[in-house]
Amino acid sequence: MSQYLDYLGISGTGKVNHQLCEAELIEAALKNQEGHLSDAGALVVNTGIYTGRSPNDRFFVDTELIHDKINWGKVNVPISEEKFNLIYEKVKNYLKEKELYVFDGYACADKEYALNIRFINELASQNLFVQNMFLKPNQQELANFAPKFTVIAVPGLKLNPEVDGTRSEAAILVHIEKRIILVIASQYSGEMKKSIFTTLNYLLPEQNVFPMHCSANVGSDGTTTLFFGLSGTGKTTLSADPDRKLVGDDEHGWSDNGIFNFEGGCYAKCINLSKQNEPQIWDAIRFGALVENVIFHEGTRTLNYDDGSITENTRAGYPISHIPNAVVSGIRLIG
């Protein structure tokens, strides 16, 4: 067994690539025919039939530990431990002989609340996404890294709703007690990002932290501004202000210490993106960035951001360091 998989009971896989750098992941993705490079150097992929999150396919494993802590209903849908175990066995069998990509990172820039996460990906391009989106441990932290949650993403596996108790061939299963998240059948990378946000919404309030779906930036006078809104309503665009310092573009916590970013990257909606109106985002989509479902101008490798023929929800994920005036620490202390 691989030292990175043995605690999960996963065996018989092919090569396990741990903590590859962005160049290595891009090389692997191109070799595996997962996508193409744009003329700016970004890796461009098509995510197939799933071009956005699939909220109807998300489930929480209903256990005694969490049963009375979740408001069950249309949004928070339960699935039994029995069904989860059945699906998990399918995932483990599916991974046999497959080459895998593993990234160890964490959420929450304030180390007091940091959540260590191991991401196990079937696709090199999705592993590039999580490396961009989450925070990277330093060498000492990596040497002593112990995952508190594990995310396993297998877009190539399809479920059978009649057998597996799901609503479609896809499922996002969050098992709080076992600290495992399964992302199945969807290649849309936002599912991994939002599954962690969902988990933090469960964990952090018990630590007296208020989770917020918002972007944040800081002015020259030291004032912090928060931009709230649903996905795609402009949080990333508004917070990427050349006259203010970006703390983060989407998810933050508010504790007694101050505001802190949950993530280490940005996930910008790209439809109708222009250099004139959004220069910082435009320039951030370069080597190291992952672009989803944007068409090239015919006969070129130039991205056509005005083309929404695949989806209006075109996206680009890139590290926050691609924004020149970002608060790379991700923390805005109070006092």
| Beta-ladder partners of 43 | 37, 290
Contact assessment for residue 19 and residue 142, using Cβ atoms and an 8 Å cutoff: yes
Q: How far apart are CA 269 and CA 191, in angstroms?
A: 15
| Beta-ladder partners of 181 | 151, 174
Closest by CA to 187, choosing from 95, 121, 98, is 121
Q: Which residues of 307-324 are buried (b: 16+ CB within 10 A; e: fewer)?
A: ebeebebbbbbbbbebbe
Q: How far apart are CA 303 and CA 155, in angstroms?
A: 25
Give the position of tokens 């910008």. Answer: 268
Give the total residue count for the chain.
335
Q: Read off the tokens for 297.
A: 């101008």
Q: How far apart are CA 110 and CA 330, in angstroms?
A: 8
Residues with a catalytic annotation lie at 53, 194, 213, 231, 235-236, 250, 315
Q: Read off the tokens for 83.
A: 């069904």
